[in-house]
Structure 1
Amino acid sequence: MKILGIDPGTRNLGYAILEKNMNKISLVEAGLVKMKAENVQFQMTQMAEAIDLIFSQHKIDEVAIESMFYAYNPQSVLKLAQFRGALGLKILQVYGNFAEYTPLQIKKSVTGKAKAAKEQVAFMVKRILGLKGEIKPLDITDAIAVALTHANAMRGLEK
């Protein structure tokens, strides 16, 4: 089973594909889609093309997305909400459904602490998957953490 995890952002969109075989989870691919445009409408177009490419190259069985977090700047929240809505619609059009996890759920699932720092999440992602070397930027490890959270949630449903 292949799980696509997405850490949405209007500047950088992290994605990761994990393969879950019984109780073994391995990383298939992870990367970053850098949004070149400043305009949210063009960013949505770039995101949609990236999602199409990922789905054309992999048979995805499950999709999980990090839900929006609270931000202090109302303009940033509005822009991210527009982008996040477009991402959700694109996933629904291409795949049909997706799971959503809050940043606190993801951090707790991967590190055991809901208030863990991004660096702690990155450390645990590498440890859980047995990865060597540094994974940068943290948007990529965040996407892996989203997919791991979904894999863990599915494990709970299997019992």
Structure 2
Amino acid sequence: MIVAGVDPGITHLGLGVVEVEPRGSLRAHLLHGEVVRTSHQEPAKERVGRIHARVKEALLRFRPEALAVEEQFFYRQNELAYKVGWALGAVLVAAFETGVPVYAYGPMQVKQALAGHGHASKEEVALMVRGMLGLKEAPKPSHLADALAIALTHAFHARLQAAKPL
């Protein structure tokens, strides 16, 4: 099973693609990982366009069975939520254009799936990603580690047949 994961952000968007072995333990292989960067000095259409292009390119290249995104929770950060929405919109359009179903997971679901408890630290989750992917060190920056964690979370939920499309 090939799964793409996205940690949405307008300035730094984590994008990872993993292939999970079909049977046995949740062992996976890293196929692709990047952080799409944009600048607040660029026009919005350039930022959103670059994110859309990179995500669509990855979806076309790797043909994942699913795209998993992190659900964002904002309380008093309206401007940030608005701009992260630009990035998430670009991701959703790329998924629509390529026919890839989208699934969303909250931060606690990711921590629970990878570390076994919903209050794991970012470092703990990154170490689990490292181990599951057989990497020499934890993926950096954190946006990439988060994207890979989200992809692995979907693989875990898909095995349990608990995944529901967004």
Fold-level similarity (TM above 0.5): yes
List aligned pairs for 1:70-149, cutoff 5 A.
70-149=74-153
Sequence identity percentage: 27
Partner SS, residue 161 of structure 2 = helix
The 3 A distance-change label for structure 1 pair 36 and 56 is farther
Aligned CA RMSD, in angstroms, stands at 1.9
Deviant stretches of 4+, over 6 Å: none
Give the gaps of 5 or more residues in structure 1.
Answer: none
Q: Paired residues, what number? A: 158
Partner SS, residue 10 of structure 2 = coil
Is 1:2–1:59's contact at 8 Å kept on the other side of the alignment? yes
Deviation at 1:44, TM superposition (A): 0.9
Matching of residue 16 in structure 1 with residue 16 in structure 2: yes
Deviates more, 1:2-11 or 1:29-38: 29-38
Matching of residue 27 in structure 1 with residue 16 in structure 2: no
Q: TM-score, normalised by structure 2?
A: 0.85
Deviates more, 1:128-137 or 1:59-68: 128-137
The 3 A distance-change label for structure 1 pair 3 and 133 is same
Give the gaps of 5 or more residues in structure 2.
Answer: none
Counterpart residue number, 1:48: 52
